[in-house]
Amino acid sequence: MELKVKVININTEKAHELLSKCDILREYSIFVETIRKYKKEKDAIKRAIYECIEKGILSEYLKRKGSEVRNMLMAEYSYEKDIQIKQEEARLEGEKRGEKRGEQRGDEEKENARLRKELRDTKDALEILKKAIGILGN
* Predicted confidence (pLDDT) per residue in 77-98, tens digit: 456 776 788 889 889 898 999 8
Mean pLDDT computed over 43-63: 92
| pTM, entire model | 0.50
Q: Of the given ranges (5-14, 29-38, 55-64, 74-83), which has the lowest mean pLDDT?
A: 74-83
Residue 8 is given by DSSP the state -
Give CA separation, 97 vs 47, 63, 64, 92, 104, in Å: 29, 18, 16, 9, 11
